[in-house]
Structure 1
């Protein structure tokens, strides 16, 4: 395949949403480490436990720095395209991956939305086939709902009412 960029991109708000999500995760990690340091002090754990905690703090700091940089590169690397025959995905920072999903193989198309994505009116789409599943991580809500309907129509999926 060529190195051309596919037609559609993720939501421009994706890096911000990803950074907020990662920041919350990192804060929880630092709170847990703070509690472990307090437990180390209170119960006078062996010295090696303190050094393990120091290593975990350094690891968490590196992870925090990475989580502030990675969303921008991730956003730049993601694109997708679809027509009546195929859904094409292209993503990857260090290793570019091209995925072509035939519409005839799609078994279900779902959208998901967490609380942070809901605040920014975004959804992710998950396309499942018999042997795999593929996710488009962040699209504007209207685009995601429209894409879900279009993919379902192209894949000839029937909507199931749960009563």
Structure 2
């Protein structure tokens, strides 16, 4: 076992948006300081009025993640280092029947009309036992092409090709 904080989540594509009436939304912009081929991710994120620096490691269903709050000034000072490796999206945070939380992302810019939904779990066994609701699409948890870091460097043409598969 590790003493590092773990993120256990599954990620799915969506073909259409479900009813999001009353579901809170926040605008997110995030950029990656590390290059696509780096196995550790160093990410800057602005979520509404909050700013974070995150380090993620590992692959697949279970990854390590550390996140610290930074100031707007620190964020803006580092933001230029993410040029060419950025994602903008609207995040909708809701709950599934049974209480599990979901994060539904509506991508903008060159990544539109991509829609994804992620669900975090308390254990790997809970993640593996999860039966997604009917409105969830294809499970892309293990597909590296759908990690935000990969999407951040993807152009519109590459996204169209990816979504055809």
TM-score of the pair, normalised by structure 2 = 0.27
Higher share in strand:
2
Question: Structure with the greater relative contact order (CA < 8 A, sep ≥ 6): 1 or 2?
Answer: 2
Q: Which has the greater radius of gyration?
A: 1
Higher share in helix:
1
